[in-house]
C-alpha cells in the first residue's frame, strides 16, 4: 500500500496516521476499509465525532437531498432554513424537556473555538482574567484553550507563555476532591491569600483525552458553588463526552447542575462534518456585541442538516437505554481483564466511554498496534498514553461490540 506521497509531502505534525498506517478508502456503520480491502471495527469513532457511525443512512440521504436542491452550504451567521430547522429540533428535543434556557452561539467549526468563545465571554462578563482549570484537562489547541489544557507535550508547542489559568487537581488526582475545593474557597475568602478573583471555572465532567477521569456530582457541584460564590461563570466542556456518549444527551444530566456555558462540538453534527456550539445563559450572552466574535465557518449548513437528523435519536430513550446497557457490558469485560492480569490495571468510564489504564504508555501503544493489526481501531490517551479508551459508535450491534472487545482482550493478553 503506497503511503509515500503522504510521508513526502504532508507535514510532520500528522499523528493518527502513524498509529493507523494504512490508506482508508470507505466507511459504513462501525467499519472502515482500506485500499487492500481489509476491514476495521472502529472503536475510535473519529475521537468521538461519529457517535452514530460512519455514513448514517438517514443523515446521508438528508445531505444528498439538500445538496441536490442547491441548499446553502456556507452562510456565516446569516439565517437559513437549515439552521432554523437544526435550532428548532435542538430546542424542542434537548433544551425544552430539561427546562433549559440558553442562547445558541455558533462560533466556528471545532471544539477549541467553542472554548475560546466561552473564555472570552466569561472575561467580558466579569472583567477578570484568571480561569480555574483542572489537571489532566484537555480543552483545545488554540492559545486560550491551550492555556486551560494540562498536557505538557501540547503546551510546549505553543512557544509563548500560557497565562491567566489557575491549575487545580482533578478529583481523582493527588490532592484533588471536594475538600480541596472547599479549602480553595476559604483561600479566596482570605484577603491575604494572594489569589485574584476569577472569571470562570472550566471543567470536563469526564476528562476524555486526559485519561477518562470521571467527576462525581459532588465534585462538580463544589466547583459550581466556588464559581458562583466568586461571581464567576461555571463552564462545562462536554465536547467529547456529550451528545449521547454516556447514555444521556449531556454527560451531566440528572446531576442538578446549572452551568453558565456548555461547550458542544464533535458528535453534535453526527455525520463527521464540522460544527461547534456554545449554550450561553441569556444574561451572559447579552454582553456580546454584534459581530464581536466571528468565525468564517460558523455557518456550516451541511452540519446543520445532519445535526437536525441526529436529533431523531433523542426523541425517546431507545438509543440511550441501549447505550447504558452496552456500556455496562463494556465495563464488565474491561474489569474482567483488569482482575485477570492485575499489574495495577484499572477501569474508568461511563456509558460507552470506557477505558483501561495499563499504567505503561509503551504497553498501551503495543496493545493498540496489535488491535490495529487484527482489525480494531482504538486510541491511547492520558498521561504518557497509558490509557486505552474505547468509544465505539453508539449504534454498534451487540455482535460487533463483542467481536471488538474480544480482539481487544486478546491484544491485552498478548502484551501482558
Tell me how far apart the alpha carbons of residues 105 and 265 are, in angstroms, rounded to a whole number: 12
Give the residue carrying C-alpha cell 487492500.
Answer: 36
Does 39 have pLDDT greater than 90?
yes
Stretch 397-405: mean pLDDT, rounded?
98
Give the dihedral sign, CA 256/262/263/267. Answer: positive
Tell me how far apart the alpha carbons of residues 46 and 309 are, in angstroms, rounded to a whole number: 19
Stretch 154-178: mean pLDDT, rounded?
97
Q: What is the mean pLDDT of the chain?
A: 97
Stretch 222-236: mean pLDDT, rounded?
98
The per-residue pLDDT for range 375-391, each reduced to its tens digit, is 999 999 999 999 999 99
Cβ atoms of residues 220 and 255 within 8 Å = yes
Closest CA to 379 of 362, 364, 394, 396: 364
Tell me how far apart the alpha carbons of residues 255 and 415 are, in angstroms, rounded to a whole number: 39
The alpha helices in 3-44, defined as continuous H runs, are 4-9, 16-19
- Strand arrangement, sheet containing 103-105: 103-105, 277-280, 261-264, 233-237, 200-203, 131-134, 165-168
**CB-count burial class (<10 Å; 0-12, 13-18, 19+) for 32:** buried
- Strand arrangement, sheet containing 379-381: 346-350, 353-357, 387-390, 379-381
Cβ atoms of residues 119 and 131 within 8 Å = yes
SS3 162: coil
Domains recognised in the chain with CATH numbers:
4-55+317-415 (3.90.1150.10), 62-314 (3.40.640.10)
Stretch 85-89: mean pLDDT, rounded?
98
Stretch 7-23: mean pLDDT, rounded?
96
Does 231 have pLDDT greater than 90?
yes
SS3 224: helix
User: pLDDT class for 1, splitting at 50, 70, 90?
Assistant: confident
Cβ atoms of residues 167 and 150 within 8 Å = yes
User: pLDDT class for 322, splitting at 50, 70, 90?
Assistant: very high
Question: What stretches of 239-312 adopt beta strand conformation (E)?
Answer: 261-264, 277-280
Stretch 147-173: mean pLDDT, rounded?
97
Does 343 have pLDDT greater than 90?
no
The residue count of the chain comes to: 416
Calculate what percentage of the chain has a pLDDT beyond 90.
99
Stretch 162-190: mean pLDDT, rounded?
97
Query: What pLDDT is stored for residue 171 in this prediction?
Result: 98
Does 51 have pLDDT greater than 90?
yes
Query: What pLDDT is stored for residue 41 in this prediction?
Result: 98
Amino acid at each position: 500500500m503506497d503511503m509515500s506521497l503522504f510521508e513526502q509531502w504532508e507535514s510532520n505534525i500528522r499523528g493518527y496516521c502513524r498509529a493507523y498506517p494504512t490508506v482508508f478508502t470507505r466507511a459504513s456503520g462501525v467499519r472502515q476499509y482500506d485500499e487492500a480491502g481489509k476491514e476495521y471495527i472502529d472503536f475510535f469513532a473519529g475521537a468521538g465525532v461519529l457517535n452514530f457511525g460512519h455514513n448514517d443512512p438517514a443523515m446521508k440521504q438528508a445531505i444528498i437531498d439538500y445538496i441536490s436542491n442547491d441548499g446553502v452550504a456556507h452562510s456565516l451567521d446569516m439565517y437559513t432554513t437549515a439552521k432554523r430547522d437544526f435550532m428548532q429540533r435542538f430546542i424542542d428535543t434537548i433544551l425544552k424537556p430539561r427546562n433549559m434556557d440558553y442562547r445558541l452561539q455558533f462560533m466556528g467549526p471545532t471544539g477549541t473555538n467553542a472554548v475560546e468563545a466561552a473564555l472570552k465571554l466569561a472575561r467580558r462578563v466579569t472583567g477578570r482574567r484568571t480561569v480555574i482549570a483542572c489537571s489532566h484537562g484537555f480543552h483545545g489547541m488554540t492559545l486560550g484553550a491551550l492555556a486551560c489544557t494540562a498536557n505538557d507535550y501540547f503546551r510546549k508547542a505553543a512557544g509563548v507563555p500560557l497565562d491567566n489559568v489557575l491549575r487545580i487537581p482533578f478529583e481523582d488526582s493527588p490532592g484533588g476532591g471536594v475538600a480541596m475545593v472547599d479549602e480553595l474557597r476559604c483561600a479566596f475568602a482570605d484577603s491575604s491569600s494572594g489569589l485574584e478573583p476569577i472569571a470562570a471555572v472550566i471543567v470536563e465532567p469526564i476528562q476524555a483525552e486526559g485519561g477518562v477521569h470521571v467527576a462525581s456530582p459532588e465534585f462538580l457541584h463544589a466547583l459550581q458553588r466556588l464559581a458562583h460564590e466568586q461571581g464567576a461563570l461555571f463552564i462545562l466542556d462536554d465536547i467529547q463526552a456529550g451528545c449521547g456518549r454516556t447514555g444521556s444527551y449531556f454527560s451531566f444530566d440528572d446531576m442538578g447542575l446549572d452551568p453558565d456555558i456548555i461547550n458542544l462540538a464533535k458528535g453534535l453534527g453526527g455525520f463527521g462534518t464540522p460544527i461547534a456550539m456554545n449554550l450561553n445563559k441569556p444574561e451572559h450572552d447579552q454582553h456580546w456585541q454584534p459581530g464581536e466574535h466571528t468565525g468564517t465557518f460558523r455557518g456550516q449548513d451541511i452540519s446543520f442538516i445532519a445535526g437536525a437528523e441526529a436529533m431523531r435519536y433523542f426523541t425517546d430513550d431507545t438509543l440511550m437505554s441501549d447505550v447504558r446497557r452496552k456500556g455496562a457490558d463494556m465495563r464488565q469485560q474491561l474489569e474482567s481483564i483488569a482482575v485477570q492480569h492485575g499489574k495495577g490495571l484499572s477501569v474508568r468510564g461511563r456509558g460507552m466511554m470506557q477505558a483501561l489504564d495499563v499504567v505503561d504508555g509503551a504497553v498501551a501503544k503495543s496493545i493498540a498496534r496489535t488491535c490495529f493489526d487484527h482489525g480494531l481501531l482504538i486510541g491511547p490517551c492520558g498521561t504518557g498514553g497509558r490509557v486505552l479508551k474505547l468509544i465505539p459508535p453508539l449504534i454498534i450491534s451487540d455482535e460487533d461490540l463483542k467481536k471488538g472487545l474480544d480482539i481487544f482482550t486478546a491484544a491485552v493478553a498478548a502484551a501482558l
